[in-house]
Homo-oligomer: A and B are copies of this chain.
Amino acid sequence: MNYPNINETHRIETGQLDMPPRLLLGPGPSNTHPRVQQAIATHEVGHLDPAFIGVMNDIQEMLRYAWQTDNSFTLPVSGTGSAAMEATLANLVEPGDVVLVGVMGYFGERLVDMAGRYGADVQTLEKPWGDVFTLAEIRAGLERHKPAILALVHAETSTGALQPMEGIGELCREHNCLLLLDTVTSLGTTPVFLDGWGVDVAYSCSQKGLSCPPGASPFTLSERALDKLHGRKTKVANWYLDMSLLSKYWDGQTRSYHHTAPINMMYALREGLRVVVEEGLDARWSRHQANAQLFWNGLAEMGLSCHVTEPSLRIPALTTVRVPDGVDAKIVAGRLLNEYNIEIAGGFGQLAGQVWRVGLMRFNSRPENVTLLLAALAEVLG
């Protein structure tokens, strides 16, 4: 012993990692695509290696395709979706800015919490969980609050509702405000046209539509948003997510060190995006819609209903199923997990105990998974 004072209390014995074979049909993470699972185990290179720069370029360009944007400023944040969410507000909010948040579920509430931490004068539009906003409601909100930023959630994972986006970007330009959009559950599963919709700031995650594990999260800024970032009077109040620093690493010309990028997560993200590019957005969106429809039909046959009644306002990748009267939502989800290795999630907040949340996304959006889940659900419900 060269070091006699070592405390051995916490030197536990553990077995080899051994995870149950779950079919992940909750709100995410969803099962990773097999090709991504191979890519993530690729041997590392340094985060400043010329070979890694090609990986970065590929990710940035394929993210533009997936999001349907020409934004030069498009990159993955080194954290999970919540970090990318926070990055939008951290970079664009200066103390005192009015931020108007459309709250129709949990993720709207979280935007309110985050914006407040960056000193925003936060105002809200509110809807019961499961509803969406009309264009008239948004116009009225913009007229009343005159915000610097309007923040909306495209696909509200806590409720299953999909916010229609037509016309909102034009309203934001009329009112000289930036449009910030959460595309966490929509990117890669549902039509998203960032540029077509006039979105200025968006974020997403890797573990839902993009076929990857969680840990690297898409982020993008339009030229209008960059103008606001570059015109800041105060430092971004968050070093790790400061895009004025981070952009020097992701910029094609400089590639100067900010923090060590999560190399293997970037390998995974590149492969997940390759899968999206190869399938093509048209085929991918159509597949998610078709398998969702298959699931909705099966639910109807079993006498179960969707929380979002209007099918065109449902997120194809994430369905909220109403829990029938007299059924304990948690017991059903627990039995699916323990007896069938299928993970689905319950509701929370306004929907606690009232819904199950079922994800059919990316690699898991396949007819056989619909068949299995419906059959297992029928057995458990008896």
The answer to whether A64 and B280 touch across the interface, beta carbons within 8 angstroms, is no
A45: contacting residue among B19, B40, B118, B257, CB under 8 A: B19
A32 close to B5 (CB less than 8 A):
no
Q: Which residues of B contact A26 (CB under 8 A)?
A: 46
Q: Name A270's contact: one of B14, B21, B31 (CB within 8 Å).
A: B14
The CA-CA distance from A42 to B37 in the complex, in Å, is 8
Instruction: Point out the residues of chain B lying under 8 angstroms from A253, CB to CB.
Output: none
Q: Mostly helix, strand, loop or mixed at chain A's interface? A: loop
A82 to B79 CA separation, bound complex (whole angstroms): 11
- Does the CB pair B81–A259 fall under 8 Å? yes
Q: Is A17 an interface residue (CB 8 A)?
A: yes
Contacts of A149 in B (CB 8 A): none
B residues within 8 A CB of A337?
Answer: 49
Looking at the assembled complex, report how far the CB atom of A105 sits from the nearest CB atom of chain B, in whole angstroms. 14
User: Contact: A17 with B271, CB < 8 Å?
Assistant: yes
Asked whether A17 lies within 8 Å of B267 as measured between CB atoms, the reply is yes
Q: Which residues of B contact A51 (CB under 8 A)?
A: 19-20, 22
Q: Does A196 contact B (CB under 8 A)?
A: yes
A44-B31 in contact given A82-B239, A86-B240, A282-B2 (Cβ < 8 Å): yes
- Name A337's closest neighbour in chain B (CB-CB): B49
Partner of A11, one of B22, B80, B262, B280: B280
Interface status of A260 (Cβ within 8 A of chain B): yes
Looking at A55-63, A165-173, A308-316, the stretch in contact with chain B turns out to be A55-63
Q: Is the CB of B40 within 8 A of A264?
A: yes
When the two chains form the complex, which single residue of B11, B264, B280, B348 contacts A277, counting CB atoms closer than 8 Å? B11
A248 interfacial by beta-carbon distance below 8 Å:
no
Most buried by B among A14, A268, A281: A14
Interface size counted on chain A using CB atoms at 8 A: 99
Say whether A259 contacts B39, CB under 8 Å: no
Contact (A29, B80) CB under 8 Å given A239-B86, A239-B113: no
Whether B83 and A240, one on each chain, are in contact in the complex, defined by CB atoms closer than 8 angstroms, is yes
- With A259-B82, A260-B207 known to touch, is A2 a contact of B285 (CB < 8 Å)? yes
Task: Determine if A68 is an interface residue (Cβ-Cβ < 8 Å).
Answer: yes
**C-beta contact mask, A209-250 vs B, less than 8 Å → 1, else 0?**
000011100000000000000000001111111000000000
State whether the Cβ of A261 lies closer than 8 Å to any Cβ in chain B.
yes
Q: Does A99 contact B (CB under 8 A)?
A: no
- For A44, A79, A83, which residue has the most chain B Cβ atoms within 10 angstroms? A44
A358 at the interface (CB under 8 A from B): no
What residues of chain A have their CB less than 8 Å away from a CB belonging to chain B? 1-3, 5-14, 17, 19-22, 24, 26, 28-29, 31-32, 37-47, 49, 51-52, 55, 58, 61-62, 64-65, 68, 70, 78-83, 86, 110, 113-114, 116-118, 191, 193, 195-196, 205, 207, 213-215, 235-241, 257-265, 267-268, 270-271, 274, 277, 280-282, 285-286, 289, 337, 343, 348
6 contacts between A and B (CB under 8 A): A3-B286, A12-B61, A37-B41, A78-B80, A213-B262, A215-B265
18 more CB-based (< 8 A) A-B contacts, given A1-B282, A20-B49, A82-B259: A2-B285, A2-B286, A3-B191, A5-B193, A10-B62, A12-B62, A20-B45, A22-B44, A22-B46, A24-B44, A26-B46, A29-B260, A49-B343, A78-B79, A117-B236, A118-B237, A213-B264, A214-B261
